[in-house]
Amino acid sequence: MSDTGTQAAGLGTRGARYTLLVVWTLGLWSTLVDTLPGEAVAIAVATALQAWCLLVLTTPGQGRLSVPRAAFCAAAAVAAALLAVPTASPPADSWSFNFPTYLLGLLTTRGNVRLGVGGGGLLIVSGIVFGASIGADAAAIAAFVALPIVAFIVGIVWRVAIASALEHERRDLAVASAAALATQAAEAATARDQTLIDDVRAEAAPVLEELRRGVSIGEPEARLIAATEEGIRDRIRSPGLRHPSLDAAVREARLRGSTSPCWAPSRPPRPWAMSSPSTSPTSWDASSTAP
């Protein structure tokens, strides 16, 4: 839904503009057939204002109209309808009066609620006042303003329904995005765990193979087992403190009998990225910790 610009209720598209132009053209033909010679000027001006309002209402975009555009659209629709009111004969429908109210209802749907509802309310009141001024009864007046009232109810309901649907979609997208991030995090954690398991297996395999073959355990073999065990612990305790030169130096010190535990945050501020042993933490003398 978001891809089709639902904030504008689809009114900022070419399809909406062409559709309303077709409706306006058909209404224009009906108006020309019914217009009396003395009403021609007022109806012509009203029709031009309708077309202008229609074009502004369907300005391309995915959001509500700017305040100046919406104000102009509302003013043009109100003026067109007020020009057409004297030519109406309640309870008969007047296209020149009804169509501007449709446009104001659609202005509400597009998101310019205050101007749309305000203009529509003004037109409905003017229709009631006009009907009363010419002596029409209540039923005739009600029939005259029925379609404009329905148009505004539909416009408001349309706007509320679209806003609700858009909110539901945004919420669903947020949930789906959170689920996708959680899945990615779980997959990344699984990959890290698998990498750790593979590294531990590769480090421990030679020692375990020697033990399986029944090699006698003297002091060198004991140091090798201890160094391997400590190396595995380093991978678990300080995964952020890993560098080939550092690993080699610590292992060599341990094989000589040194006790060299490594501790580091699991996520250091800046991981080791040394280009050579001379620029790395391995420049310290690991043998200094030997007993």
Is residue 96 domain-shared with residue 234, that is, in the same domain? no
Q: Higher model confidence: residue 5 or residue 49?
A: 49
Is residue 147 domain-shared with residue 265, that is, in the same domain? no
Whether 150 has a pLDDT exceeding 60, the answer reads yes
Residue 97's pLDDT band (boundaries 50, 70, 90)?
A: confident
Is 141 among the domain residues?
yes
Where is the domain boundary, 142, 172, 202?
A: 172
Average pLDDT over residues 194-216: 82
pLDDT on residue 232: 81
Is residue 109 domain-shared with residue 223, that is, in the same domain? no
Is residue 161 domain-shared with residue 234, that is, in the same domain? no
Q: Higher model confidence: residue 287 or residue 42?
A: 42
Whether 117 has a pLDDT exceeding 80, the answer reads yes
Where is the domain boundary, 139, 156, 172?
A: 172
SS3 string, 134-189, reads CCCCHHHHHHHHHHHHHHHHHHHHHHHHHHHHHHHHHHHHHHHHHHHHHHHHHHHH
Is 185 among the domain residues?
no
Q: Higher model confidence: residue 88 or residue 135?
A: 135
Average pLDDT over residues 72-94: 78
Structural domains in the chain (count): 2
Is 207 among the domain residues?
no
pLDDT on residue 89: 59
Is residue 32 domain-shared with residue 105, that is, in the same domain? yes
Stretch among 124-133, 177-186, 251-260 having the lowest mean pLDDT: 251-260
Average pLDDT over residues 207-220: 80
Burial of 59 (0-12, 13-18, 19+ CB in 10 A): middle
Q: What is the pTM (predicted TM-score) of this model?
A: 0.54
| Residue (of 152, 166, 71) closest to 115 by Cα position | 71
| Separation of alpha carbons 135 and 132, rounded Å | 5
**Nearest-5° Cα angle at 77, 71 to 79:** 100
pLDDT on residue 260: 66
Q: In which domain, by residue range, is 277 found?
A: 216-289
Whether 65 has a pLDDT exceeding 70, the answer reads yes
Q: How far is CA 253 from the centre of its chain?
A: 57
Is residue 32 domain-shared with residue 168, that is, in the same domain? yes
Is residue 12 domain-shared with residue 117, that is, in the same domain? yes
| Separation of alpha carbons 29 and 287, rounded Å | 101
Is residue 21 domain-shared with residue 96, that is, in the same domain? yes
Is 25 among the domain residues?
yes
Is 44 among the domain residues?
yes
| Separation of alpha carbons 148 and 162, rounded Å | 21
Is residue 147 domain-shared with residue 33, that is, in the same domain? yes
pLDDT on residue 14: 85
Is 168 among the domain residues?
yes
The mean of the pLDDT values for the chain is: 78
pLDDT on residue 71: 92
Whether 258 has a pLDDT exceeding 60, the answer reads yes
